[in-house]
């Protein structure tokens, strides 16, 4: 298994939805579906065997529903994160799922973009916590609250999510702040296009601008992922 790959288990009783979920998850770079269970009991067995990073779980299922399964995951301290993907929209169910630690809640029917956003958010959360022994309040606030800000807004006209994800991943691979020109060259974008994505990320609180002085000419903006 490739280093850094996030391993996902699907718990869903509908074969058609199983396949849709699998395809959507694996369209997002860095994710791999490592197993599929048709009910909560099978899901718990696979979690214990495969130890996935993340579980996609339906709520309405035979042989142990999603709520009971999430509670068992927590009570047995199985160490996996959970995203609910379900048709359940009543407030009691939503509250119950979130109170037991689900990192996201996606209602059926859904589009790929909603799954993609959930997985991008989770990857930021997952990688940030894995790399640190301690975290500052500012970093924690960013992880907890930035997701909601992004979900409520669409990308500006002319930007698309796949390219934005490439820019983010490229910045994550750099130890030092880099210029828009370097980003453009690194992922094959026009310089003005790269700058638009970087400015959007800075406005969204995902990158910081470091102004580099020295040499002849204007100061150069350097960008660093938070």
Residues 122 and 213 in one domain: no
Q: Which domain holds residue 165?
A: 154-225
Using the 3D structure, point to which of 98, 130, 162 is the last residue of a domain. 130
Can you tell me the distance from the alpha carbon of 50 to that of 189, in angstroms, rounded to the nearest whole number?
A: 39
Can you tell me the distance from the alpha carbon of 154 to that of 192, in angstroms, rounded to the nearest whole number?
A: 20
Can you tell me the distance from the alpha carbon of 163 to that of 169, in angstroms, rounded to the nearest whole number?
A: 10
Residue 90 falls within a domain, yes or no?
Answer: yes
Residues 108 and 41 in one domain: yes
Model pLDDT for residues 93-137, shown as the tens digit of each residue = 999 999 998 999 999 988 888 898 899 888 877 766 665 667 677
Residues 29 and 85 in one domain: yes
If phi > 0 it is left, if psi is from -120 to 50 it is alpha, else beta; for residue 202 that is: alpha
User: Hey, what are 97's tokens?
Assistant: 């799922």
Task: Kindly report the pTM of this predicted structure.
Answer: 0.62
Residues 91 and 200 in one domain: no
Q: Is the pLDDT of residue 149 over 50?
A: no
Using the 3D structure, point to which of 70, 97, 130 is the last residue of a domain. 130
Can you tell me the distance from the alpha carbon of 43 to that of 46, in angstroms, rounded to the nearest whole number?
A: 5
10 Å CB burial of residue 68 (0-12, 13-18, 19+) is: middle
Residue 28 falls within a domain, yes or no?
Answer: yes
What CATH number does residue 164 fall under? 1.10.10.10
Residues 46 and 121 in one domain: yes
Residue 135 falls within a domain, yes or no?
Answer: no
Residue 20 falls within a domain, yes or no?
Answer: yes
Residue 147 falls within a domain, yes or no?
Answer: no
Model pLDDT for residues 38-95, shown as the tens digit of each residue = 999 999 999 999 999 999 999 999 999 999 999 999 999 999 999 999 999 899 999 9
Residues 25 and 112 in one domain: yes
Confidence of residue 148 (pLDDT cuts 50, 70, 90): very low
Q: Is the pLDDT of residue 178 over 70?
A: yes
Residue 26 falls within a domain, yes or no?
Answer: yes
Residues 69 and 105 in one domain: yes
Residues 12 and 122 in one domain: yes
Residue 140 falls within a domain, yes or no?
Answer: no
Count of domains for the chain: 2
Residues 28 and 110 in one domain: yes
What CATH number does residue 75 fall under? 3.40.50.2300
Spatial neighbors of 223 by CB under 8 A, at least 6 apart, are: 171, 177, 178, 179, 180, 183, 198, 201, 202, 207, 208, 209, 210
Is the Cβ–Cβ distance between 170 and 183 less than 8 Å? Answer: yes
Residues 37 and 86 in one domain: yes
Residues 47 and 122 in one domain: yes
Is the Cβ–Cβ distance between 202 and 223 less than 8 Å? Answer: yes
Residues 90 and 176 in one domain: no
Residue 137 falls within a domain, yes or no?
Answer: no
138-160: average pLDDT: 63
């Amino acid at each position: 298994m490739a280093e850094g790959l996030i391993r996902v288990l699907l718990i869903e009783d509908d074969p058609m939805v199983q396949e849709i979920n699998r395809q959507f998850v694996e369209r997002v770079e860095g994710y791999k579906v490592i197993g599929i269970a048709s009910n909560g009991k099978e899901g718990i067995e696979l979690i214990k065997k495969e130890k996935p990073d993340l579980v996609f779980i339906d709520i309405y299922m035979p042989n142990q529903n999603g709520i009971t399964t999430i509670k068992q995951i927590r009570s047995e301290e199985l160490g996996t994160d959970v995203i609910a993907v379900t048709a359940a929209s009543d407030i009691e169910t939503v509250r119950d799922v979130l109170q037991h630690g689900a990192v996201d809640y996606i209602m059926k029917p859904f589009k790929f973009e909603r799954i993609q956003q959930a997985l991008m958010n989770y990857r930021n959360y997952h990688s940030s916590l894995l790399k640190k022994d301690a975290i500052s309040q500012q970093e924690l606030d960013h992880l907890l609250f930035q997701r909601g800000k992004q979900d409520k807004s669409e990308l500006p006209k002319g930007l698309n999510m796949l390219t934005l994800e490439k820019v983010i991943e490229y910045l994550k691979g750099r130890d030092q702040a880099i210029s828009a020109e370097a980003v453009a060259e690194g992922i094959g974008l026009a310089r003005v296009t790269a700058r638009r994505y970087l400015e959007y990320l800075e406005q969204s609180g995902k990158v910081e601008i470091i102004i580099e002085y020295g040499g002849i000419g204007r100061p150069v903006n350097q960008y660093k992922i938070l």
